[in-house]
Amino acid sequence: MQQKIYHHVFSNGLTLLAERMEHVRSAALNFLVPAGCVFDPPKEAGMTTILSEMIRRGAGERDSRELSLALDNLGLDRDESVGQLHMRFWGATLARNLSAALEIYADILRRPHLPPADMEAVQSLALQEIQGLEDEPQAKVMVELRRRHWPMPLGRDRRGTPEGIESITPDKVREHFQRLFGPRGTILSVAGNVEWEPLRDQVERLFGDWSGGGEATYPLEPALGGVAHLEKDTTQTQIALAYPSVPFGHPDYYAAQGAVQVLSGGMGARLFTEVREKRGLCYSVWASYQTFKDRACVLSYAGTTNERAQETLDVTVQELRRLAEGIADDEVERVQAGLKSSVIMQEESTSARAGAIASDWYYLGRIRSADEIKAAIEGLTPAKIVEHVKNFPAKEFTIVTLGPKPLEMSAI
């Protein structure tokens, strides 16, 4: 099926993207606003998370309850999330309700109430989430890994700190909103059974006179890197590590994804079979890929008993490095099948497509076609993946462990 992709950049800097999907009856909208947690003021870490909660509590002529009811009445499946660089607003509904949903989101993004009376409750929720990390050792060790591996503020945790949360005031939230929210750098992507010209005209009416925002920068500090241990009296040890990879858009991007999938793309992947199944070393092990525009990394995690933690670390690193020794044809075939399946399922989901075209535009300044992606996946071979891992080997590790005692790093 031929993709119908449209784009328009308004004079104020807002980018509108749309993919017409004639075979569906739904539509999804996706706003990427350059207001992620990297822009949190240093003394108010967690500001963006507070704003993401406050911004939903009334907008335009509707108070908090009326706003929720209006979105519910449209049957809108929705969410807001805070990333490193963007705050994301997402919603999916019947295509005939898209126009009404856009009207409401124009209020949310441009005219939120940010009610001071709600600040105490919002701060309490944010503090509870931070405290909850103590009961989630896997999440806690990954937070520390990202904090050490990425240069700050790219490694900042969106939850912030108790001190940062407690120092935030309603006036500071409003100042933060006014500083960051605006059309410059904001991407609105829409996918579904939509008509381009009426959509473009409506977005022009709702957002064409939007101004402000887009002024914040985030100078980078050197990454901490290295090895760290979080001491905790537990019966299990959490192991997390990261090492550099190539970013989205790099010629080796698909080979990098292929390598990660060989390691961790299902129950037939190497980490699962070699570390968990054959040796019974751990209850959970995986690898994943994370990217920014100019840098990326492979993240890996294993959770195990204290007695087997050292062996788990050693074998996991061994498997990461063993990729360079060779990859079998059937491993690549499994990876290709999984990646193609993901592409096909994405083509049938308006939400997935709205997110994908926004991501492509942000990283690449263009939108990849399904045929381009499929061709790249089909072009993966054992030789290409091996060449990639030889050129970008598993080294320069950042490692964080959590448990009663640190591990030996002599084999790293």
What is the band of 65 on the pLDDT scale with cuts at 50, 70, 90? Answer: very high
pLDDT (0 to 100) of residue 252: 97
Percent of the chain with pLDDT over 90: 88
Asked if residue 306 lies in contact with residue 312, where contact means CB atoms within 8 angstroms, the answer is no
Which residue type occupies 355? G
Supply the pTM of this predicted model: 0.94
**Span 212-247, pLDDT tens digits:** 887 678 899 999 999 999 999 999 999 999 999 999
Q: How far apart are CA 31 and CA 404, in angstroms?
A: 43
Q: How far apart are CA 45 and CA 391, in angstroms?
A: 37
Domains defined for the chain, CATH in brackets: 4-207 (3.30.830.10), 227-403 (3.30.830.10)
Which residue type occupies 354? A
Which residue type occupies 85? L
Q: How far apart are CA 292 and CA 77, in angstroms?
A: 28
pLDDT (0 to 100) of residue 370: 86
pLDDT (0 to 100) of residue 1: 52
Q: How far apart are CA 271 and CA 290, in angstroms?
A: 18
Which residue type occupies 324? A
227-231 vs 398-403, strand pairing mode: parallel
How far does CA 136 lie from the centroid of its chain? Answer: 19
**Span 313-323, pLDDT tens digits:** 999 999 999 99
Who's near 110: CB < 8 A, 6+ residues apart? 181, 207, 210
Distances (CA, A) of 302 to 99, 320, 386: 46, 13, 24
* Cα–Cα nearest to 86, from 187, 194, 202, 173: 187
**Span 103-160, pLDDT tens digits:** 999 999 999 999 999 999 999 999 999 999 999 999 999 999 999 999 999 999 999 9
- How crowded is residue 385: how many other Cβ atoms within 10 Å of its Cβ? 27
**Span 78-115, pLDDT tens digits:** 999 999 999 999 999 999 999 999 999 999 999 999 99
Gap between the terminal Cα atoms of the chain: 49
pLDDT (0 to 100) of residue 319: 94
